[in-house]
């Protein structure tokens, strides 16, 4: 089967995630220990015990999500040594996708993720903002709303998640105004619990710091097809990937285009690694006959490995 491996972003963090894997698989401790050494604090303790406000802080959430997703990936590959035809990750998840595709080593990806989380946290502290999901409107309508609202205060499309769902990002006033306009047009508006205006000009300083950081790390050509957030298209040349990685911090995530690209490539099975099923559930709405799997705990790991054998992923 044509397969895609996908990896979640910052919104997937939850206290206690991966608890059964920690209990059953000593290898998970190794991944968290390595990332903790880079981060300078006990990431396992924060992940398992919280408190929630500490785990979901950008500088902790991003490394924790990466560590768990990478551990899930490698545990799965021990049982099912298959290379995906496609690899993609939502925002932060792009780094795990590049690790899965052999473009980044684990150590380099861990270091970059820790730096990225801190850079974004610093930028959000300097220029506060927020985000909200707009549902039930076409992309063009949301873009028009953002353009109109920005006359008063900044707000931009941040995540093109799927048809009929776009997340907007900006100042508190800008996002609130976008909400008013969205409701007037018959859309739904759902404020998100986030620590800043991700994927907007308000975090441009983080993008510039990441651009400098990325220069020091080796990026290899990915195996299979890697689809980049900033373009929604395949990227294979290391310098192109490096450029897109820094740009995606302050640009929208084109996840809808990513899913369309995978569907056009006749992807038959999608495996999501890490806590939650957000990405696989979205893909199912794009391609209803796709087989979807999640690897987040001991039960789902065993189930996905069994599916690997049955479906010859």
Active site residues: 91, 199
For the residues of 126-165, what is the DSSP string, one character each? HS--EEEEEESS-HHHHHHHHHHHTTTS-EEEEEEEETTE
Task: Look at residues 196, 208, 228 and name the one whose alpha carbon lies nearest to residue 90.
Answer: 228
> Are residues 13 and 92 in contact, defined by beta-carbon separation less than 8 angstroms?
no
Beta bridge partners of 229: none
> Are residues 157 and 142 in contact, defined by beta-carbon separation less than 8 angstroms?
yes
Chain CA centroid to CA 284, Å: 17
**93-100 vs 106-126: helix crossing angle, rounded to 10:** 170
CA distances from 221 to 100, 108, 243 (A): 12, 15, 14
Q: To 5 degrees, how large is the angle CA 221–CA 36–CA 130?
A: 80
């Amino acid at each position: 089967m044509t397969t895609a491996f996908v990896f979640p972003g910052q919104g997937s963090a939850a206290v206690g995630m991966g608890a059964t894997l920690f209990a059953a698989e000593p290898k998970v401790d190794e991944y968290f220990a390595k990332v903790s050494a880079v981060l300078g604090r006990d990431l396992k303790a924060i992940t398992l015990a919280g408190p929630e406000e500490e785990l979901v802080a950008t500088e902790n959430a991003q490394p924790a999500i990466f560590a768990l997703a990478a551990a899930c990936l490698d545990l799965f590959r021990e049982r099912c040594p298959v290379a995906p035809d496609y690899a993609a990750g939502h925002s932060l998840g792009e780094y795990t996708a590049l690790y899965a595709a052999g473009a980044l080593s684990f150590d380099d990806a861990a270091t970059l993720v820790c730096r990225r989380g801190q850079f974004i946290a610093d930028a959000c502290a300097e220029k506060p903002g927020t985000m909200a999901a707009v549902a039930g409107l076409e992309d063009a309508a949301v873009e028009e709303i953002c353009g109109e609202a920005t006359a008063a205060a900044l707000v931009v499309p941040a995540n093109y998640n799927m048809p009929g769902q776009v997340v907007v990002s900006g100042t508190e006033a800008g996002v609130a105004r976008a909400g008013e306009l969205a409701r007037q047009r018959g859309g739904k508006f759902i404020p998100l619990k986030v620590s800043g205006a991700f994927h907007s000009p308000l975090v441009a300083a983080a993008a510039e710091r990441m651009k400098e950081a990325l220069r020091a790390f080796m990026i290899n050509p990915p195996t299979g097809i890697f689809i980049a957030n900033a373009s929604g298209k395949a990227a294979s040349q290391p310098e192109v990937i490096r450029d897109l990685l820094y740009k995606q911090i302050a640009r929208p995530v084109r996840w809808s285009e990513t899913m369309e690209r995978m569907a056009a490539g006749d992807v038959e099975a999608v495996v999501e690694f890490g806590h939650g099923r957000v990405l696989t559930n979205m893909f199912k709405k794009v391609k209803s006959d796709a087989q979807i799997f999640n690897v987040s705990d001991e039960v789902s790991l065993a189930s996905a490995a069994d599916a690997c054998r049955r479906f010859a992923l």
